[in-house]
Amino acid sequence: MRMGSATQRRIQAWLPGEPPNFDPQAGVDEWSYRIHIGWLEGLTRTDRTGRTVPALAADWEADGSHTELVVRLRTEATWSDGRPITAEDVRFGVLRALHPDHGLRAAWQMYVLEGAEEYHKGRAGPPVGVSVESSDTVRFVFDEPVPYVPQLWTLPPFAPLRADVMDGVSAPPVTEMPSSGPFDLVEYREGDLVRLVRNDRYWDRELTPPDEVVVRLGGDPVERFLAGEVDLADTSERRVAEIDPDCVTRTPECSIVYMLVNAGDPQLADGRVRAAIAAAVEPEEVASRAAPACVPLTRLVPRSDGTSGYLAATRQVTVPRDADTAPLAGLSLSLLCGDNTDNRAEAEVVAGQLAASGADVRVVPRGYAERYTSIRQGDYQIAIVAWKADFDSPLAFLREHVSDRAAGNQSKWSDGTYNRLVAEARATGDPGRRDSLLARAEHRLLASHHVIPLLQRVRTWLRRPGLEGVVFRQAGVAPELRWASW
C-alpha cells in the first residue's frame, strides 16, 4: 500500500459532514459511497461518459432468462498489497452482507439473488445464489430477471471483500484495509478530512487517476471553495450568485425529494389527515421559493434516461391532491428535515403550507446520520428526505416502499397488494406488463398519502476551472474522480 508522497495532481473535494459508514456494507448512504467508490472496485465501474462497463469482471455470460450469470474476473487484478482478487472474495462479500447475525443494511440490495432473503432472515430456502467455480470464475443465480445488475455491481456493497482482513462484521482500521480500486485510503481525521492516494497496483495500467484526493469534511462549501480549500463541492443554487459562472456545473439527477408520513403515529393513522397533508402541500411553491434549480414532482418516479418510457406510458398516474384540508385544523405536528440551509428552507415552506390549513408545525432540523436513525426507528411524524436511485429504472424508486423485504420502507407503510404488484413487475421480462404493474403500484402508494413527492433534484456543483474528467452520474454514486485531471 502506497502511503503517499509529494504529488503533482491533487484534487480537494468537499463532503457535507462525517461519512456515516466506512464499512461499505453497513449503510447505503451517498456520503459514505463517495469515499468507497474510489477505494473499493466493483465488478463494473463507470467510464468517462458515465456508462457502466466491466471493471474487476473481465466479462460475463447470461442465460436466456437473464437469471443466471457466469462472471470471469480479470486475472491481472490484485489488491493493493499484491494479493490476487479472487472469486472467493466476491462470494465472501455477498455472504458477509447477508449473514443474519451481522445486521448490515446493505443486505436487502442482495435480495435479487436466489435464496438471499431466506438466508438473511434465518429461514429455510435454497442456497444463496453465488458460488465459486474456479479462482477467477463466479456464478450468480437470481430469483428474477435482472437486466440492471451491471449497474448494481458498481455500488460499493457489491465490491469483493477480504475474509482474512475482515472478521465477520468487524473490520480493521480503515487505513489498514487493502484497496481494490484506483485509490488507497491512507488517512482519516475525524471531522477534518479523508485522504486517498493513487493505488499503483490498480489493474487498469492505462488509467492515470489523480495522485491524491483529499476529501474535506464539513464547513461552508462556498467559503471553502472561495478560500481555495476545495476544488469540487455541491452547494445550494441560491449561493451561486457569489461564484464565477465558469465555476458552476448543474447536473440533473435520478433522485427525488419527498415527504414521509409516519404510518405508525396515532395522529397520522387517519387517511383523511394524510390526504389533507398532501392537499395542502404545493411542490411548485417549494421549488420556486426554496429550490429554484429543482423540478416539482407529482409522482414518485422522476424523469431520467431510464424512466422516460415508463412515464410516457403511464401518464395517468399522479398524486391525488383534491382532499379537504379541514382535518389539519388544530393538529400539532413535527417536521423532521436536514440541518443544512437548503433542507431547512424546503421544510419552512412546507411548514407554512400546512400552517395555512390550520396545523401547528414545528420544524426539527437534524444532522444526516441522526435524521436517518430517527426515521429508521420510527421516531418522527413527518420527514423530508431524498433518495438517489441505485440504478436508472422506475423499479429503483418503487421497490424502496415494499414492506415484505428489507428495502427502505421508511414510512412504515405496509400493503400486501403493493408488495405483490412490485414483485410481479420484478419477475416479468415483458416491458409493457412491467410498466402496467408498476403504474398500479405507484398509484396505490400515492393514493395512500404515506409518501408525498416534492422535487426532482438538479445538483449544483462548484468546480475549479481546469478540473476536467469528473463524471456526474444520474443514478448511483457521483461524482466519480478516477478520470479527473487538471
Half-sphere exposure of 363 (CA within 13 A, CB side): 20
Q: Which grid cell sits at 263?
A: 404510518
The mean of the pLDDT values for the chain is: 92
212-221: average pLDDT:
96
User: Which of 174, 166, 8, 185 shows the shortest CA–CA distance to 89?
Assistant: 166
356-385: average pLDDT:
92
C-alpha to C-alpha distance for 43 and 130, rounded to whole angstroms: 14
pTM of the model: 0.85
431-447: average pLDDT:
96
* pLDDT value of residue 412: 75
Burial 386-421 (b: 16+ CB within 10 A, else e): bbbbbbbbbbbbbbbbbbebbbbbbbbbebeebbeb
343: three-class secondary structure by DSSP: helix
- pLDDT tens-digit map of 178-193: 999 999 999 999 999 9
42-53: average pLDDT:
93
Which letter does DSSP use for residue 373 in this model?
A: H
DSSP symbols for 422-450: HHHHHH---HHHHHHHHHHHHHHHHHHTS
Q: Which grid cell sits at 89?
A: 472474495
Place of cell 406510458: 313
Place of cell 472467493: 88
Question: Does residue 479 have a cis bond before it (omega within 30 degrees)?
Answer: yes
- pLDDT tens-digit map of 264-301: 899 999 999 999 999 999 999 999 999 988 999 999 99
Amino acid identity for residue 260 in this structure: L
**Is 339 within 8 Å of 346 (Cβ atoms)?**
no
C-alpha to C-alpha distance for 301 and 389, rounded to whole angstroms: 10
**Is 29 within 8 Å of 156 (Cβ atoms)?**
no
* pLDDT value of residue 414: 87
- pLDDT tens-digit map of 23-38: 999 877 888 999 999 9
pLDDT band at 328 (very low <50, low <70, confident <90, very high): very high
252 phi and psi angles, rounded to 5 deg:
-60, 140
User: Which of 81, 349, 115 shows the shortest CA–CA distance to 201?
Assistant: 81
User: Are β-strands 52-54 and 10-15 bridged in parallel, bridged antiparallel, or unpaired?
Assistant: unpaired
